[in-house]
């Protein structure tokens, strides 16, 4: 009988597991419900892929990240492991065919987005699928008190009614103790449950934070000093482009990335960065999920995230190869003050929520008691401008409406192009004889896509044009002409953000929002924000220790390599040094007017930061005073 290590060697060509992987796999194989907390790049997918291959049946993987699903399915197929996926944007027929394959085919993995779990079609096929493991990726999304709550995750537990004996493996990179408890409860973990948590220590990753009025020079200084690949995280799409232009102007090959780009653009930019054609990628947090690039030397946050969960996950993309790497956070005091004011924007009043909801329904021309089950193109900026609303407030309201399960808002929606023949084969033959100019394209469609007569088929215009041997522009023109002639129904790919109505539109005065839950989320948000700000401004505590305590409640040993640890090493003052410096400060303050600058000039062999530290101590002990101009006086 094959062992887990045999599977690892056969399909992944690794000789050993990473820390905790073997223990997690053994727990799952023993039938235990298991919570695995592994850092970004810690090999979470191996933990469900290996045990599922060992057992008969298929692993049901629930993930909210469509791009990650597609990447994992593709990677599994490359290794000779058959896998499937079902996500938003797929047609009814395509979903049905996928579920039939899961039920009757020889597949080992079925990736599903959480909102698909309660659809009639999925529930129809679910009892026919022999599930051996339920893997819940990004499991922190199940907690209302976490940083990325998704209501659709609450319905995952219903799967246990269908598969009461099947273990659940919940995976996440970052969850506080409170969120961990929530995950186990919401997923109905049994008595024989296990939790694995990798240490938050990253001995090769140096954290640092700099308060700056202008960040451009510091950014250039860091990237000129630290060679190799890097990521610069920004809060806005516009900022990603500005940072990219700044770096290129200064001889650093960079590009920008955000959710507003087309799929083709995003894939190309991502590939150029992974292959090191582009050295630095300036991006929003839409970038990085599922990307396995171990040699990232620097991750710089040009703007402050609003939670340590986000920061830790993004910073953790540096130094996965175990070599020295740097996670740098740039901030200003004004930025921290603005962050503290964000609570009102993130959690608007009931009146504001109702106002945005009413405007949304008007914008979509949606009458009362309609809309349920329908999806609508939505441009947030156009909507905000038309109704004179703040875009950040609108985004916050959309999030609340999602959490109240009234709508879903998908910013990274993608629907491939589809073609469906509208006439039968006999009439198509007659048409080809009458219009021979369309023959090559029709034959190309029929040869490339099986079943195209039976249901709409996804097509790839680039591949089809290459297969036929014509220019893409000519192919598009012919497809449009065939559509106009009633031969096919051709829908070009769609990447417009979507609003999907879970429930019919209600009258604004009847709109019910659970304020009690909102207040709880607001309180949790403020706690996360406070922890993030403390991480920025602390000058003494080890940053790795702060992260470890925030997530695990454990006091880790100082890392020795973050900016605060390095500063503390430099600030170690012997009693002889302290007596010398304090004696000189008091003597010079008695004999003449003195400032810290004058003291530094008089003590050239002593580091200025040590002088400042001793002076600070003397002030706190009320032994000296310093006036508004910096002059020191004895007390």
Q: What is the mean pLDDT of the chain?
A: 90
Assigned domain for 326 exists: yes
Domain end position, chosen among 197, 224, 253: 197
**Residue with more model confidence, 445 or 94:** 445
- Stretch 527-537: mean pLDDT: 96
Count of structural domains, the chain: 5
Both tokens assigned to 559: 């890392």
pTM summary value: 0.76
Assigned domain for 565 exists: no
Assigned domain for 321 exists: yes
φ and ψ of 387, to 5 deg: -105, 10
Write out pLDDT tens, residues 62-115. 998 777 787 888 889 989 999 999 876 676 788 899 999 999 999 999 999 888
Residues 107 and 77: beta-carbon distance below 8 Å: no
CA distance 416 to 91: 10
Question: Do 485 and 501 belong together in one domain?
Answer: no
Print the domain residue range for 14: 4-197
Residues in contact with 506: Cβ distance below 8 Å, sequence separation at least 6, in sequence order: 368, 369
Beta strands in 214-314 (DSSP E): 229-233, 254-257, 280-283, 296-301
- Stretch 129-145: mean pLDDT: 94
- Stretch 574-594: mean pLDDT: 83
What end-to-end distance do the CA atoms of the chain give, in Å?
81
Domain end position, chosen among 148, 170, 197: 197
Question: Do 244 and 363 belong together in one domain?
Answer: no
Write out pLDDT tens, residues 337-392. 999 888 888 999 999 999 999 999 999 999 999 999 888 889 898 999 999 999 88
Assigned domain for 533 exists: no
Question: Do 17 and 105 belong together in one domain?
Answer: yes
Assigned domain for 232 exists: yes
Question: Do 371 and 518 belong together in one domain?
Answer: yes
Q: Half-sphere exposure (CA, 13 Å, Cβ side) for 306? A: 17
Question: Do 388 and 424 belong together in one domain?
Answer: no
Burial of 581 (0-12, 13-18, 19+ CB in 10 A): buried
**Cα pseudo-dihedral 155, 157, 158, 159, rounded to 10:** 110
- pLDDT in the model for residue 415: 67
Question: Do 360 and 509 belong together in one domain?
Answer: yes
The dihedral through the CA atoms of 268, 270, 275, 279 has a sign that is positive
Domain end position, chosen among 179, 197, 215: 197
Among 445, 449, 376, which residue's Cα sits nearest to residue 97?
449
The dihedral through the CA atoms of 325, 331, 337, 339 has a sign that is negative
Confidence tier at 601 by pLDDT (50, 70, 90): confident
Residue 32, pLDDT above cutoff 90: yes
Assigned domain for 535 exists: no
The dihedral through the CA atoms of 357, 358, 362, 365 has a sign that is positive
> Could you give the angle at the alpha carbon of 527 between the alpha carbons of 524 and 529, nearest 5°?
110
Question: Do 59 and 193 belong together in one domain?
Answer: yes
CATH number at residue 167: 3.40.50.300
Write out pLDDT tens, residues 410-429. 776 666 788 888 998 889 99
Confidence tier at 20 by pLDDT (50, 70, 90): very high
Assigned domain for 477 exists: yes
Confidence tier at 17 by pLDDT (50, 70, 90): very high
CATH number at residue 583: 1.10.10.10
Question: Do 278 and 349 belong together in one domain?
Answer: no
Question: Do 398 and 284 belong together in one domain?
Answer: no
Question: Do 154 and 265 belong together in one domain?
Answer: no
Question: Do 187 and 66 belong together in one domain?
Answer: yes
Question: Do 348 and 377 belong together in one domain?
Answer: yes
- pLDDT in the model for residue 89: 65
Assigned domain for 564 exists: no
Q: CA–CA distance from 387 to each of 35, 360, 509 (Å)? A: 45, 9, 19
């Amino acid at each position: 009988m094959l062992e887990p290590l045999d599977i690892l060697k056969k399909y992944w060509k690794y000789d050993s597991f990473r820390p905790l992987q073997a223990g997690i796999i053994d727990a799952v194989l023993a039938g235990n419900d298991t919570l695995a907390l592994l850092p970004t790049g810690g090999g979470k997918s191996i933990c469900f892929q290996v045990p599922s291959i060992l057992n008969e049946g298929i692993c049901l993987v629930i993930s909210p990240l469509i791009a990650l699903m597609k990447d994992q399915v593709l990677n599994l197929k490359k290794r000779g492991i058959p896998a499937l996926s079902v996500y938003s944007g797929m047609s009814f027929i395509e979903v049905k065919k996928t579920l039939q394959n899961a039920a009757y085919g020889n597949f080992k993995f079925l990736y599903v987005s959480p909102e698909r779990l309660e659809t009639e079609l999925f529930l129809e096929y679910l009892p026919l699928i022999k599930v051996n493991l339920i893997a819940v990726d990004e499991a922190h999304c199940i907690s209302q008190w976490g940083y990325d709550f998704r209501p659709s995750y609450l319905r995952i537990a219903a799967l246990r009614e269908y598969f009461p004996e099947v273990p659940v493996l919940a995976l996440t990179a970052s969850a506080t103790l409170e969120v961990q408890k929530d995950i186990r409860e919401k997923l109905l973990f049994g008595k024989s449950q296990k939790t694995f948590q990798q240490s938050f220590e990253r001995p090769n990753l140096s954290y640092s934070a700099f308060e700056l009025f202008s960040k451009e020079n510091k950014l250039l200084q860091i990237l000129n000093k630290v060679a190799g690949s890097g990521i610069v995280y920004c809060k806005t799409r516009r900022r990603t482009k500005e940072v990219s232009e700044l770096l290129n102007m200064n001889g650093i090959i960079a590009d920008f990335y955000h959710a507003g780009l087309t799929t083709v653009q995003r894939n190309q930019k991502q590939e150029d960065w992974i292959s090191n054609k582009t050295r630095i990628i300036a991006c929003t947090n839409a970038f990085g999920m599922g990307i396995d690039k171990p040699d990232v030397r620097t991750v710089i946050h040009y703007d402050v995230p609003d939670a340590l969960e986000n920061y830790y996950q993004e910073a953790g993309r540096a130094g996965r190869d175990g070599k020295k790497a740097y996670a740098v956070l740039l901030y200003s005091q004004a930025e921290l003050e603005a962050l503290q004011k964000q609570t009102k924007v993130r959690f608007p009043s009931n009146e504001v929520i109702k106002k945005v909801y009413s405007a949304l329904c008007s914008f979509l021309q949606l009458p009362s008691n309609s809309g349920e089950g329908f999806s609508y193109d939505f441009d947030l900026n156009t909507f905000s401008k038309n109704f004179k609303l703040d875009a950040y407030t609108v985004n916050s309201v959309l999030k609340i409406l999602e959490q109240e399960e009234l709508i879903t808002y998908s910013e990274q929606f993608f629907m491939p192009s589809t073609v469906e023949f509208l006439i039968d084969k006999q009439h198509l033959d007659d048409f080809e004889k009458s219009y021979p100019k369309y023959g090559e394209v029709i034959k190309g469609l029929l040869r490339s896509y099986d079943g195209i007569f039976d249901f709409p088929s996804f097509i790839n215009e680039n591949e089809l044009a290459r297969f036929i041997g014509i220019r893409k522009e000519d192919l598009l023109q012919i497809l449009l002409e065939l559509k106009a002639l009633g031969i096919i129904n051709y829908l070009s790919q769609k990447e417009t953000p979507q609003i999907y109505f879970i429930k019919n539109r209600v009258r604004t005065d009847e709109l019910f929002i659970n304020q009690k839950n909102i207040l709880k989320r607001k309180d949790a948000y403020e706690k996360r924000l406070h922890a993030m700000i403390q991480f920025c401004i602390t000058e003494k505590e080890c940053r790795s220790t702060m992260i470890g305590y925030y997530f695990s409640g454990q006091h880790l040993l100082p890392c020795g390599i973050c900016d605060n640890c390095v500063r503390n090493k430099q600030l170690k003052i012997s009693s002889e040094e302290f007596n010398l410096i304090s004696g000189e400060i008091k003597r010079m303050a008695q004999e003449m007017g003195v400032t810290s600058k004058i003291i530094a000039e008089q003590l050239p062999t002593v580091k200025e930061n040590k002088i400042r530290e001793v002076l600070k101590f003397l002030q706190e002990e009320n032994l000296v005073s310093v006036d508004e101009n910096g002059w020191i006086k004895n007390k």
